[in-house]
Amino acid sequence: MEIVVLVKQVPDTANVGADAMKEDGTVNRAALKAVFNPDDLHALELALEMKDKYGAKVTVITMGPPKAVEILRESLYRGADNVFLLSDPKFAGSDTLATSLILKSAIEAKAKKFDIIMAGRQAIDGDTAQVGPQIAEKLNIPQVTFVTEIESIKNNTIKLSRLSDEGTEVIECKTPILLTVEGGFNTPRSPRVKRMFKYTTRVKEIHSVIFKSIETKNYEPNQNSVNQMMKELISEHIIG
Partner 1 sequence: MKHGNVAVFIQQHNGKIENVSLELLGKALDIAHELKTNVSAYLPCEKAGDMPKILFSYGADNVYIIENAELKEIISIPYAKAVVEAVKKDAPGIVLFGATRAGRDIAPRVASSMKSGLTADCTELKIGPYTDNKTGKTYEQLLYQIRPAFGGNIIATIINPVRHPQMATVREGVMKMKTPDNSRKGQIIPLTITLSPVDLSVKIINKIVKEKKVNLTGANIIVSGGMGVGSKENFDRIRELADIIGGEIGASRAAVDQGWVSKEHQVGQTGVTVRPKLYIACGISGSIQHKAGMDQSLKIIAINNNPEAPIFNFAHIKIVGDLNTVIPMMIEAYKKQDNK
- The window from 58-66, 165-173, 186-194, 219-227 that contacts partner 1 (CB under 8 A) reads 165-173
Decide if 40 contacts 78 (C-beta within 8 A). Answer: no
What letters, b where the CB count within 10 A reaches 16 and e where it falls short, cover 157-190? ebebbbeeeeeeeebebebbbbbbbbbeebebee
- Which lies closer to partner 1 via its Cβ, residue 79 or residue 132? 132
**Binds partner 1 (CB under 8 A): choice among 1, 129, 196, 203:** 129
75 near partner 1, rule: CB under 8 A? no
**Binds partner 1 (CB under 8 A): choice among 43, 68, 76, 131:** 131
**Binds partner 1 (CB under 8 A): choice among 51, 57, 110, 159:** 159
- The window from 42-50, 63-71, 91-99, 183-191 that contacts partner 1 (CB under 8 A) reads 91-99
Decide if 5 contacts 119 (C-beta within 8 A). Answer: yes
Q: Which amino acid is at 237?
A: H
**Binds partner 1 (CB under 8 A): choice among 95, 108, 220, 232:** 95
128 near partner 1, rule: CB under 8 A? yes
Return the closest-CA partner of residue 6 out of 78, 89, 80, 93. Answer: 80
**Binds partner 1 (CB under 8 A): choice among 53, 66, 97, 230:** 97
**3-class DSSP assignment, residue 164:** coil
